[in-house]
Amino acid sequence: MTNRSSRRRTIRLGMAGAALCISIAGAAFAQMPVATVATFADHYVYAGRSFDDLDRLEDAVLAAHPRGVRLEACGDGTDRALRAAAHRFRNLYLDLRHGAVDDTTCASASVPRAVPVRQRFGLPPYGVNDEAVDRWWHTISMP
């Protein structure tokens, strides 16, 4: 009798452990796999919305809980914006791609942009700490 009882408990414990593992794995896989951000010289486009501020872009991307970020450089002059976005999302998996403005991702990211209500100072995209970005790129590119 005790053999059957201990066997049942072992089976129940094993099933409970398997259910727990499956629920934890399901929560981990519920994250968005990769967030794709089209990077232009003066703004970013993510999920059909245009962002001229890197702080607002970061809030929108991190709200989706992505596993990684794919940064598509669209056109010329995107170096500053691309480097700043890579620095901002450095704790996630990064996929950096360079495309032309007429590529599929860049062409589909051509959304109408709102006219700013007030004039901001500095170079767009805003919210970029150029010194921190340069320091980070220097540490990863130098052995």
pLDDT tens for each residue of 67-124: 999 999 988 888 889 999 999 999 999 999 887 666 776 776 665 555 454 555 566 6
pLDDT grade for 41, boundaries at 50, 70 and 90: confident
- CA 14/CA 60 separation, integer angstroms: 40
User: Mean pLDDT score of the chain, rounded to an integer?
Assistant: 77
Tokens of residue 37, six digits: 């951000």
Please state the domain extents for the chain: 1-30, 32-141
Of residues 66, 28, 16, the one with CA closest to residue 46: 66
Q: What is the chain's length? A: 143
pLDDT confidence of residue 138: 79
Q: Is 134 a residue whose pLDDT tops 80?
A: yes
**Residue 41 belongs to what H/E stretch?**
none
pLDDT confidence of residue 137: 79
Q: Is 61 a residue whose pLDDT tops 90?
A: yes
Residues contacting 115, CB < 8 A, separation 6+? none
Of residues 70, 130, 132, the one with CA closest to residue 105: 70
Query: In CATH, what is the architecture of 32-141?
Result: 2-Layer Sandwich (3.30)
